[in-house]
């Protein structure tokens, strides 16, 4: 387990709405090995997106420890800015985030998006076109996001994520707004590439079938507040 990609210990997060404190994640612990995939399931509002945000530093936990690629993030760290910078650099180079939608800059073409992301990660842009081709949208490289279908957009988002050669992919219902058939295709590509390039994957989904394709399974179950 020393070689684990990600280790989470006693992670807690609550939101304050009005004068009420709503706990979303409570004392959650799990680990993810290198190149492993984990399915995150649970009802709507159970905290899937919140957890993914915590895992890439877009939100900060109230308590607990996250160890990612050997870097340790503890709550209550003295220098918040340093922590934020560490998270930023991790997101830039190690963690690829895929949202349900709108993963692309609307003013850039698909190819430019991939190149942009690759360059941010400090990778070469030479293979950007290849990534698009590998995801079957090579011919659409010069199109803008609003000129392609939803499935093609998500393929481009995956191309972008793989082009940055991440250690960990966090995908938040990446096929949630696609039809069954397209969703299956896109997930298949995701699993294939993840397996081939050996990066870790955490996939938040409502879909039991999709979850079954992952090696591990974490169910946030019920709404934590209930």
Partner 1 sequence: MKGLPSLLASFSLPGALFSHYRRHPLQLLALAVMIVLATMLWTGVNHLTSQARASLNQSEQAVAERQQVVRDDGQMLAVDDFVALRLVGVCVMPWLEVTPETGNRLVGIDPLAAYCFGSRNRPSPALDQPLNGKPFLDMGVATAIKSRDSRLYLLTPDTTQTADLPGGYQLTSFSTSPDTGELGDSFLLNLEALGILVLLITALLLRSVYLLGLVQRRDSFALLHRFGVSPDRVQRWLVFEILALALMCVVPGVGLGRWLAAGLGGGFGQALDGLFDIPLYAGQGQGWAMPVLVMLAVVVIACLGDLLLLRFRERLSLILPKTVYSGLAALLLVAGLAMAWLAPSLPWVFIAVALVFAGAGWLAPYAVARIARWCAGRSTKPLALWRYRELAVLARRLTLPLVALQFALAMVLAVQALVTTFEDTFDRWLGQRLEAAYYIEVPAGADGRQAAEWLTRQQTNTPGLQWHRVMRGQAQVTGTDNANNPQVDVFAVAPVGALIRSWSLLEAADQHWEALDSGSGVMINEQLARRQNLSVGNNLKLRLGNQQRVMPIQGIYPDYGRPVGEILLSAETLPDSFNVRFESFSVTPGKPGIAQMTDALQGIWQVEALSMRDNGTIRELATSVFDQTFALTRAMTLLTLILAAAALLMMGWVFFSTRAWYFRLLVAWGMSQRQVAGQLLRLALLLTGGIAVLALPLGIWLTWVLVHRINPLAFGWTLPMAVYPAFWFELGMLSLAVGLSIAALMRRQLGRPAVAPVSASALTGGER
CB 128 within 8 A of CB 97: no
**115 scored as a contact of ligand ATP (CB under 6 A):** no
Which residues from 9-28 bind ligand ATP, rule CB under 6 A? Answer: 15, 17, 24
Binding residues with ligand ATP: total (CB under 6 A)? 11
Measure the CA–CA gap between 72 and 113, rounded to whole angstroms.
31
What track of x and - describes contact with Mg ion for positions 47 through 76 (by CB under 5 A)? --x---------------------------
Within 8 A by CB and 6+ apart from 16, the residues are 22
Q: Which stretch binds ligand ATP (CB under 6 A): 38-46, 91-99, 134-142, 158-166?
A: 38-46
Q: Which structure tokens are listed for 172? A: 């938040």
| Residue 3 binds which entry of Mg ion, partner 1, ligand ATP, none, CB below 5-8 Å type-dependent | none
Q: Which stretch binds ligand ATP (CB under 6 A): 43-51, 70-78, 118-126, 183-191?
A: 43-51
Helical H runs in 42-102?
48-55, 80-93
Among 9, 31, 69, 99, binds partner 1 (CB under 8 A): 99
**45 scored as a contact of ligand ATP (CB under 6 A):** yes
Residue (111 or 171) nearer to Mg ion, CB: 171
**50 scored as a contact of ligand ATP (CB under 6 A):** yes
For 119-143, b/e burial (b = at least 16 CB within 10 A) is eebebeeebbbebbebbebeebbeb
Within 8 A by CB and 6+ apart from 67, the residues are 4, 6, 7, 8, 9, 73
Min dist CB 219 to ligand ATP, Å, is 11
Measure the CA–CA gap between 84 and 46, rounded to whole angstroms.
26
Q: Which structure tokens are listed for 147? A: 């000129």
Is the four-CA dihedral 86, 91, 94, 100 of positive or negative sign? positive
**97 scored as a contact of partner 1 (CB under 8 A):** yes
Q: Which stretch binds partner 1 (CB under 8 A): 34-42, 105-113, 131-139, 202-210?
A: 105-113
Judged by the rule CB under 8 A, the positions of this chain that interact with partner 1 are 53, 56, 58-59, 84-85, 88-93, 97, 99-103, 105-108, 112, 115-117, 119-121, 144-146
């Amino acid at each position: 387990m020393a070689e684990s990609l990600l280790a989470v210990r006693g992670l807690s997060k609550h939101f304050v709405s009005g004068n009420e404190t709503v706990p979303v994640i409570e004392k959650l612990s799990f680990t993810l090995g290198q190149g492993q995939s984990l399915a995150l399931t649970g009802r709507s509002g159970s905290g899937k997106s919140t957890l993914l945000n915590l895992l890439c530093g877009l939100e900060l936990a109230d308590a607990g420890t996250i160890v990612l690629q050997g870097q340790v993030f503890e709550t209550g760290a003295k220098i918040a800015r340093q922590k934020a910078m560490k998270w930023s650099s991790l997101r830039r180079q190690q963690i690829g985030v895929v949202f349900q939608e709108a993963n692309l800059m609307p003013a850039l073409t698909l190819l430019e998006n991939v190149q942009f992301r690759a360059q941010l990660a400090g990778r070469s842009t030479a293979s950007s076109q290849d990534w698009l081709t590998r995801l079957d949208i090579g011919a659409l490289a010069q199109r803008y996001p609003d000129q392609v279908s939803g499935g093609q957009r998500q393929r481009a988002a995956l191309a972008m994520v793989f082009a940055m050669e991440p250690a960990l992919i966090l995908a938040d219902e990446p096929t949630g707004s696609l039809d069954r058939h397209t969703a299956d295709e896109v997930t298949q590509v995701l699993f294939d590439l993840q397996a081939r390039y050996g990066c870790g994957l955490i996939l938040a989904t409502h879909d039991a079938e999709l979850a079954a394709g992952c090696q591990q399974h974490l169910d946030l179950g019920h709404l934590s507040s209930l």
